[in-house]
Amino acid sequence: MIDEIPKQYNPKETEDKWYKFWEESNFFAAKPNPAKKPFTIVIPPPNVTGILHMGHALNNTIQDILIRYQRMQGKETLWMPGTDHAGIATQNVVEKAIAKEGLKRQDLGREKFIQRVWLWKEQYGSTIIRQLKKLGASCDWPRERFTMDEEYSKAVKNAFVILWRKGLIYQDDKIINWCPRCQTALSDEEAPHRELQGNLYYLRYPLKDNPQECVVVATTRPETLLGDTAVAVNPKDKRYKKLIGKILILPLINREIKVIADSIVDMKFGTGAVKVTPSHDPNDYSLGKKHRLEFINVMHPDGKMNEFAGDYKDMDRFEAREVILEDLKEKKLLEKVEPHPLSAGHCYRCHTIIEPYLSRQWFVKMASLAKPAIEAVKKGKIKFHPQRWTKVYLNWMENIQDWCISRQIWWGHRIPIWYCLDCKKNTASVETPLKCDECGCVNIKQDEDVLDTWFSSWLWPFATFKNKEDLKYFYPTSTLVTAPEIIFFWVARMIMAGLEFQKDIPFKDVYIHGTVRDIEGKKMSKSLGNIIDPLEITNEYGCDALRFSLISITAQGQDVYLSKERFEQGRNFANKIWNASRFILMNLDTSVIKTDLCVFFKKEDLSLVNRWILSRFYSTLKSVEKYLDNYQFNEAANLLYGFFWHEFCDWYLELIKSEIKNPHNQVVMYKILEKFLRALHPFMPFITEEIWQKLPHEGSSIMLTAWPHLQENIIEPKIENIMEEALEIITNIRNMRLGLEIPPQADNVSVKISVPDKNKRAVLESAANHIKNLARLNKVEILGEYKRAEREFSSVFKDKHITIPLSGVIDIEKHQEKISLKIAKAESDIKLKEKMLSDKNFLKRAPQEIVEKEREKLNNLKDEVQKLKGVKDGLR
RNA sequence: GGGCGGUUGGCGCAAUUGGUUAGCGCGCCUGAUUUACAUUCAGGAGGUUUACAGGUUCAAGUCCUGUACCGCCCACCA
């Protein structure tokens, strides 16, 4: 039966099978269990419109590793899944879909359109969830939430009403980011600035008194001149002092505007005179308020010019710009044009250039919400990994602006504000009110706008829990795993919401992983066509390969540069595991391995090689645990990789090959493989399950086994010493192989190499190879005996000796010298430190922390010297 | 304008609180094959010693100061 195991690992056949098994067996389910500690992660809910990309793959692999690892550590683990309704994005997608039928959303009307969106969601909204399952994500799927679920919507309204009652929500006219394509307001975070190559246009505004004389203003957006209601100069600017208060004639539409003075104007920029368009620029807006200027909005919400734009009515804003420039040129009012780099906001959904636009929107006052959220991070209740993001977070929070939360779209949580059409009062309410609170009339109407999608996402860590019992047990959640792009959008706001609505932090740790980029460092995006599809990789190399490769090349928090070839490493590793396991299975005597391992240990009669590999394995495990606790996933993965491939396979299995039936060897190789599979399971869940199931095992699935801990009865201090000894011997064998040198003038000096153990065929083989190589490299002829032995390794090696023509063996003297130097230096330092620590003055004056630190340093130094001495001895 | 990250062999990246001979993967070169695995094994070349210039230290890729280049984020530069 074992012979039927194929030579190559075939992930396709196994992955779906085991995922189905896990899911159907309810292994992912979590419920409050007082006997266990909880470990909770809430998934960053992907958009319902989402299609799995590498960012998701990385993000969810990390979460799955944490969840599976903690589950094996005996925690009650909940990974809460769900999706986000993604207001604008989803609305755009559905609008595109109905456009194929020749329809606009206005043709359908609000209610019917929303029905269509729901329909779309039913049909396509689970794509991303199916894809996450392909990744092996062990989410508690029956708990899946959607940010528009009934209960969730109620939580959103609740949050709104609470803030409203606290007076933290207000409506105001402000210049906001307006996307003319999506026709909605956006928050500052949703309108990221991008560099553009623009122009600086110098325009002449003639004086009313003397049309020959002009004030030249510089602008990047000449079309806004139609809405100008002043020109501002700096009061200190000598050039313009006499013009302050004068009247200018606005070109093209011949409106009269005044020259005003304000110190905000930078004299060095442009001409020092600036046109003021209070309705189309945030700076000008505040100037307008300050100087009581007229506010003239010249644009329709769709970016076309309106009736105030005179002849330019109905032109698109950029078309109008061109025409206006032409007209100005004709009238000789365009002095010059200079190229000028500028940055403009872009809609984060459709990338259209944002129009700063004056409109009436809803805002949340953020200052009081930010305060406790700043505290929580400063006091270390919430920790960022890597730490450097703390600063980014704090910097944003400390300069936080009020949050524009109203969106002029249809898909989303409608703002729970009701207006009374009679008494004009408005009120917020979770339930639909029957009549006006103030005047008692029934003539009431709900606000037309919906809330920013992030106004629902910020409640995610707690609004996803349906009952109090769960909330109490699983909240605060343990770790949030996410990308740097959404620290402001989401992470910061969740912290504020958690503290505001739950009076507790939403999570203890935030792990920010890097951005996945292509091999040239560009962000992967559809438009660039540089996408590597995770599902394609899964198909070709297997999901485990995808996960492992991704993790092993992602250094903590650094961006990842990907190319398809990178996944070969993971695939090769999976195949290596497969074949090593195949080899072990073929040679495993199941009656032997039932014997308890520790019996051998107590007798201390395991061979050196066995003790060595066990010692290596346990120290590997220890480090892996340390790295996982530290969010250093790549280190953990690479350690397991290196141990398995280059120590367990290349050395251990080769060394025991000839005595593979020896019961000690049987037990050790079986135990290590079985435990290694468990340790690797969080990283490569499928292949580990597949092999584990083939091995003799207890329990129904590897994912329910315990993380392989050190066993006290195996690693006794005594035994550990012996293992060190074993390690030394193996190391020396390595050194021997690596250190062989043939001096160029080598003659017939013979050196005998003898290998201490009798099962060293592999070592001798490689030694022979090496010698051959060296001889060839140094153009040394291989002499008699050895040459003949080339085809007869086995017989030559039988007496465990080979005679070769070379002199030097291992040149370690230099190294030893270096180490001796270091030891001497360290020892003198120890003396210094000891002196310092016995100095009464120092102890009296230095702060306690410093003294402690010095003590620690001293101890470290002592350890270091011990280590160095050990190394030195090891080289002898 | 402010902040952050990066600069280590041909390429992509590691290196815990300063401490063994600076590692790994890919690529390259040489060799091995009655083999668990060619998605393999053994070995080798390749770092003028970690962008540059100083400094601290017994010890610096790691800490400090400065410079250069690359990338990212934030900001109301019309």
> Residue A851 pLDDT > 50, yes or no?
yes
Express each pLDDT in A797-817 by its tens digit: 333 333 332 222 223 344 454
Other C-beta atoms lying within 10 Å of the C-beta of residue A196: 13
Min mean pLDDT across A304-308, A581-585, A620-624, A735-739 is at: A735-739
Token digits for A132? 């996450």
Residue A254 in tokens: 């011949």
Beta carbons of A302 and A355 less than 8 angstroms apart = no
Whether the per-residue pLDDT at A784 is higher than 80: the answer is no
Residues in chain A: 876
pLDDT at A618 over 60: yes
Give the pLDDT score at A757.
33
Instruction: Count CA atoms within 13 Å of residue A477 on its CB side.
Output: 29
Closest protein CA to C1' of nucleotide B5, residue: A558
Assess contact for A614 and A725: CB atoms under 8 A. no
Confidence at A602, pLDDT banded by 50, 70, 90: very low
- How many angstroms separate the CA of A576 from the C1' of B40? 9
Which of A75-79, A311-315, A347-351, A535-539 shows the highest mean pLDDT? Answer: A75-79
The one-character DSSP state at A657 is G
pLDDT in the model for residue A369? 93
Task: Work out the pLDDT band at A829, boundaries 50, 70, 90.
Answer: low
For the cut 50, the answer to whether the pLDDT of residue A737 exceeds it is: no
Task: Measure A731 CA to B10 C1' (Å).
Answer: 31
Give dist(CA A518, CA A525) in Å, integer.
9
Question: How much is the average pLDDT of A594-608?
Answer: 54
Q: What is the pLDDT of residues A372-408, one digit of tens each?
A: 999 898 888 898 888 888 888 888 888 888 999 999 9
Dihedral sign for Cα A350, A356, A361, A367, please.
positive
Segment A852-861 shows an average pLDDT of 56
Rounded to 5 degrees, φ, ψ at A562 are -110, 145
Which structure tokens are listed for A868? 């160095």
What pLDDT, in 10s, does the model give residues A640-692? 988 898 888 877 887 777 778 888 888 888 988 999 999 999 999 999 999 99
Residue A294's pLDDT is 86
Our measurement of CA A622 to C1' B74, in angstroms, reads: 41
Q: Which residues of A817-843 are buried (b: 16+ CB within 10 A; e: fewer)?
A: eebeeebeebeeebeebeeeeeeeeee
Residues A449 and A406: beta-carbon distance below 8 Å: yes
Q: Is the per-residue pLDDT at A503 higher than 70? A: yes
Q: Which of the residue ranges A146-160, A240-254, A292-306 has the most confident prediction, judged by mean pLDDT?
A: A146-160
Spanning CA of A557 to C1' of B16, the rounded length in angstroms is: 15
Q: What nucleotides of chain B have any atom within 7 angstroms of a protein Cβ?
A: 3-6, 12-17, 19-21, 24-26, 30-32, 34, 36-44, 58-59, 71-78
Please answer whether residues A403 and A366 qualify as being in contact, where contact means their C-beta atoms are separated by less than 8 angstroms.
yes
Nearby residues of A70 by Cβ (< 8 Å), 6 or more positions away: A39, A77, A478
* Phi/psi of residue A107, nearest 5 degrees: -65, -35
Contacts of A508 (CB under 8 A, 6+ apart): A381, A382, A383, A476, A477, A478, A479
A560-576 per-position pLDDT tens digit:
777 777 788 889 999 99
> In the structure, what pLDDT confidence band is assigned to residue A524 with cuts at 50, 70 and 90?
low
Q: Name which of A464, A700, A509 is nearest A70 in CA terms.
A: A509
Q: How far is the CA of A543 from the C1' of B15 (A)?
A: 29
A192 forms beta bridges with none
Q: What six digits make up the tokens of A43?
A: 């998934």
Query: pTM of the full predicted structure?
Result: 0.81
- Nucleotide nearest A648 (Cα, C1'): B36
pLDDT grade for A431, boundaries at 50, 70 and 90? confident
Check residue A489 and give its pLDDT: 87
pLDDT of residue A414: 94
What phi and psi values does residue A835 have, to the nearest 5 degrees?
A: -60, -50
User: Encoding tokens for residue A41?
Assistant: 């992660």
Least confident of A151-160, A299-308, A361-370, A605-614: A605-614
**Distance from C-alpha of A308 to C-alpha of A683, rounded to nearest angstrom:** 63
How many Å from the CA of A740 to C1' of B34? 30
Structure tokens at A550: 């991704």
Instruction: Give the 3-state secondary structure of residue A409.
Output: coil
> What confidence score (pLDDT) does residue A130 get?
92
When pLDDT is averaged across residues A126-147 and rounded to a whole number, the result is: 93
Between vectors from CA A836 to CA A830 and to CA A838, what angle results, nearest 5°? 105
User: What is the C-alpha to C-alpha distance for residues A220 and A238, in angstroms, rounded to an integer?
Assistant: 25
**Quick one: CA torsion of A123, A129, A131, A134, rounded to 10 degrees?**
-130
Measured CA to C1', the nucleotide nearest A739 is B21
Considering all nucleic acid strands, name the nucleotide whose C1' atom is nearest to the C-alpha of residue A765. B42
Amino acid identity of A876? R
Tens of pLDDT, residue by residue over A297-354, are 888 888 888 888 888 888 888 888 888 888 888 888 888 888 887 888 888 888 888 8
Q: How far apart are CA A829 and CA A640, in angstroms?
A: 37
- Assign A331 to helix, strand or coil: coil
Order of strands across the sheet that contains A184-186:
A184-186, A169-179, A355-364, A403-404
For the residues A406-435, what does the mean pLDDT come to?
A: 88
* Low-confidence winner among A261-270, A349-358, A699-708 (lowest mean pLDDT): A261-270
Q: What is chain A's mean pLDDT, rounded? A: 78
Q: Calculate the CA A434 to chain-centre distance.
A: 47
